[in-house]
Amino acid sequence: MNTLKDKVILISGGTAGIGQACAQAYVKAGALVAFIGLDQESVLATGALLGTPHLGICGDVSLEGDIEAAVDQTIATFGRLDAIHNNAGLASPSKPLHETTEEEWGRLFDVNVKSILLTTKYGFPHLKATKGCILNTSSLVGEIGQENHAAYAATKGAVNALTKSMAIDYAALGIRVNSVMPAAVMTPMLQQWALEQAQPQQVFDFLKDIHPLGYCPEGDVIADVCTFLLSESARFMTGVNLPVSGGAELGYRRNC
């Protein structure tokens, strides 16, 4: 089960939701995990959860200095870097495009997209040395769109395009680049998004129904696939935007 034994993985947004589930799964698979979160309290709480050697880093993924420092701290602590998991994301505000302000648009793209530029810029020499991996947490909405959420969906479309383009650029170096595309996963972010809708309770009911497999999952379902994608078992996979969606994108359905 130690499919990530001694691999050093830097994950952003590791202090809640999907990222925290991934950090736990990576530790369970034998990895040494460095994780970035926004505030000291959640970094400490997640560190206590992980237990084994880990590095908790407080920082904002949209700030170049914070990312440079996070990569430096990871190398200083563990001596190498085998994978970067770009997971931190922002989904608010949920509104149609014409109501989205330039500031809101800018913040969504800074956190969800520019952060990948920054982690790649500072992590690249280390990943080149280890023939490592980059994994992005995208979203199914980057492929199929989403009502009332255009700017967020656009950031995830950009993540999908980046995943494929980076995979081509870095394949010759042995660096694999993939993404996972969840549909809905019950996390603080999803709860916040639901509360921003006109009828939150109806939205919570709807979230149970959108996955043909029959339930709204928690982060563990995404973490298991991420663990696979970062392991040697996925050694011939690159440039893949992989739905982990319970079939949410499939065909015509009758909701009855």
Nearer to ligand NAD, 171 or 213 (CB): 213
Is 221 a binder of ligand NAD (CB under 6 A)? Answer: no
Is 18 a binder of ligand NAD (CB under 6 A)? Answer: yes
Nearer to ligand NAD, 173 or 250 (CB): 250
54 neighbors 47 (Cβ within 8 angstroms): yes
- Which residue in the set 19, 47, 123, 217 belongs to the binding site for ligand NAD (CB under 6 A)? 19
Q: Describe the strand order of the beta sheet including 54-58 as a list of residue ranges.
A: 54-58, 32-37, 8-12, 83-86, 133-137, 176-182, 241-244
Nearer to ligand NAD, 2 or 155 (CB): 155
Instruction: Tell me which amino acid residue 4 is.
Output: L
- Which residue in the set 94, 187, 227, 241 belongs to the binding site for ligand NAD (CB under 6 A)? 187
60 neighbors 106 (Cβ within 8 angstroms): no
Is 93 a binder of ligand NAD (CB under 6 A)? Answer: no
CA dist., res. 1 & res. 3, Å (int): 5
46 neighbors 53 (Cβ within 8 angstroms): no
Is 167 a binder of ligand NAD (CB under 6 A)? Answer: no
Tally of CB atoms within 10 A around 105? 16
- Which residue in the set 33, 166, 177, 184 belongs to the binding site for ligand NAD (CB under 6 A)? 184
18 neighbors 217 (Cβ within 8 angstroms): no
- Which residue in the set 9, 12, 74, 135 belongs to the binding site for ligand NAD (CB under 6 A)? 12
Interface positions with ligand NAD (CB under 6 A): 12-13, 15-19, 36-38, 42, 60-62, 87-91, 111, 137, 139, 182, 184-185, 187-190
